[in-house]
Amino acid sequence: MFTNIYSLMPEELANKIKIEQLGSPVYRTKQLLFWLYKSYINEPDKMSNLPAEFKTYLLNNYSFYLPETDSKLVSSDKAIKYRLKLEDNELIESVLIPTEKKNTLCISTQVGCGRNCQFCSTAKMGLIRNLYNYEIVGQVIYAARQLKSSDNKKLTNLVLMGMGEPLDNLDNVLSALRILQSQEGLSFSPRRITVSTSGVVPGIIALADSGIKAKLALSLTSAIDSKRSKLMPVNKQYNLIELKQALLYYLRKSSYRITIEYILIPSFNMDDDDLKALSKYVGDLSCKINFIPYIPGKDSIFRAPTVKEINDFMYRAQSLPQAITLRKSRGADIFGACGQLNKNNLGAKI
Ligand code: SF4
């Protein structure tokens, strides 16, 4: 089986070509990288300025496989969910969320997920497998190409918040982040990449120690251990105290404020006691808090909060010391909103 060309750091690819293609001028690799990462072309035959023998070398030594379209769904609020097929026919999903100023892509890091959060449709798939680094990078190239060809626009932000727990697939995620941030790769600023976690403590520490910069988002959803453990089994493994230590460690190592995601679930985490616990937990954290009204997936055991319940909660939440935002999750009618991704959830296909 050939090495997938997107699995290599641009510098690593350049070195391999230097060794294997003695006599090939240095600018040849630059031309290749431009086709791969700036033009989003993955067919050597279409790389018009490369000589025939160099194309033959590439085809004989590398796979250029990128995730392929299985379906594309567009929501009434203009979010686009791509269901993508991998080489082994497994399916993953990415969601493009366009706004006036930003085009954010939410990408997957695993096929399914093993963390079993009770508010999440992906959890129902279980963990099927980790994605390889080039499958994570491939989702970005795929969406960037779609945006460029349909609207001549660029992707601006990435969130690793789709299917899977990114920190349970740390090696591939770190390697993908390096390629996404490399100037000769996709050249994303670390400020524009957010890694979201359910609270995998060793992963938070390893990310902080890796030297790779990225923003961190934590799905907290309750600051009371007994409640959080009911909703997110990861809390039985790493409780709120351990989690807090890891977050403080991350803050010491990184220059970015943490984002706390708090899904609003009526009759579960919206009472005064919940707010009081949250206020105490985040008191000394440099963070902002996003409150996200829960959107039930198929067979959900919880209901969505009413507008009155949300307004009442947000009024009381103003007592929190941090910046707070009410974030409406987009793409609900195509099962593309937060916690709804599951390869079996289909909306209207176009
Ligand atoms: S919320 Fe994230 S970590 Fe939890 S089950 Fe869903 S995909 Fe996995």
**Residue 3 and residue 62 in contact, taking contact as beta carbons nearer than 8 Å:** yes
In angstroms, the CA 310 to CA 317 distance is 10
Overall average pLDDT of the 167-185 stretch: 97
pLDDT for res 339: 63
What's the one-letter identity of residue 8? L
H-run or E-run covering 264: strand 258-264
In angstroms, the CA 104 to CA 95 distance is 8
338 confidence band (pLDDT: 50, 70, 90): low
* DSSP sequence for 81-98: EEEEE-TTS-EEEEEEEE
CB 218 less than 6 A from any atom of ligand 1: no
**Residue 297 and residue 121 in contact, taking contact as beta carbons nearer than 8 Å:** yes
Residue 24 or 183, more confident: 183
**Residue 119 and residue 47 in contact, taking contact as beta carbons nearer than 8 Å:** no
pLDDT for res 350: 30
In angstroms, the CA 66 to CA 64 distance is 6
- pLDDT digits over 3-31, tens only? 999 999 999 999 999 888 877 888 999 99
Overall average pLDDT of the 260-270 stretch: 96
Domain 68-334 classification at class level: alpha beta
In angstroms, the CA 9 to CA 12 distance is 5
**Residue 34 and residue 203 in contact, taking contact as beta carbons nearer than 8 Å:** no
pLDDT at residue 33 tops 80? yes
**Residue 331 and residue 104 in contact, taking contact as beta carbons nearer than 8 Å:** no
- pLDDT digits over 48-77, tens only? 999 999 999 999 999 999 999 999 999 988
In angstroms, the CA 96 to CA 73 distance is 10
Please tell me the least confidently modeled range out of 11-20, 131-140, 229-238: 11-20
Overall average pLDDT of the 183-198 stretch: 96
Choose, from 93, 135, 165, 184, the residue flagged as catalytic.
93
CA of 114 from ligand 1 middle (Å) equals 8
CB 261 less than 6 A from any atom of ligand 1: no
267 confidence band (pLDDT: 50, 70, 90): very high
pLDDT for res 343: 64
Atom of ligand 1 nearest to the CA of 120: 6
Percent of the chain residues past pLDDT 90, beyond the cut? 82
> 34: Cβ–Cβ under 8 A, 6 or more apart, which residues?
none
CB 93 less than 6 A from any atom of ligand 1: no
> 254: Cβ–Cβ under 8 A, 6 or more apart, which residues?
208, 213, 216
**Residue 246 and residue 204 in contact, taking contact as beta carbons nearer than 8 Å:** yes
Q: Is 120 a catalytic residue?
A: no
pLDDT for res 236: 98
* Predicted TM-score (pTM) above 0.85: yes
CA of 164 from ligand 1 middle (Å) equals 6
Q: Is 338 a catalytic residue?
A: yes
Instruction: For the chain, give the longest Cα–Cα distance.
Output: 71
pLDDT at residue 349 tops 50? no
235 confidence band (pLDDT: 50, 70, 90): very high
What's the one-letter identity of residue 65? Y
341 confidence band (pLDDT: 50, 70, 90): low
Residue of 165, 295, 343 with the most ligand 1 atoms within 8 Å of its CB, for mutation:
165
332 confidence band (pLDDT: 50, 70, 90): low
CA of 85 from ligand 1 middle (Å) equals 20
CB 200 less than 6 A from any atom of ligand 1: no
Nearest to 38 by CA among 182, 138, 185, 136: 185
Domain assignments of the chain as residue spans, ordered by start: 3-63, 68-334
Atom of ligand 1 nearest to the CA of 121: 6
pLDDT for res 146: 93
Closest C-alpha residue for ligand 1 atom 6: 120
pLDDT at residue 154 tops 80? yes
CATH architecture of 3-63: Orthogonal Bundle (1.10)
Q: Exposed, middle or buried: residue 247 (CB in 10 Å: 0-12, 13-18, 19+)?
A: buried
Choose, from 106, 117, 287, 338, the residue flagged as catalytic.
338
177 confidence band (pLDDT: 50, 70, 90): very high
Overall average pLDDT of the 156-167 stretch: 97
In angstroms, the CA 228 to CA 235 distance is 6
CA of 21 from ligand 1 middle (Å) equals 44
Joined tokens for residue 214: 């990225």
Half-sphere exposure for 157 (CA within 13 Å, toward CB): 17
Please tell me the least confidently modeled range out of 61-65, 72-76, 80-84, 276-280: 72-76
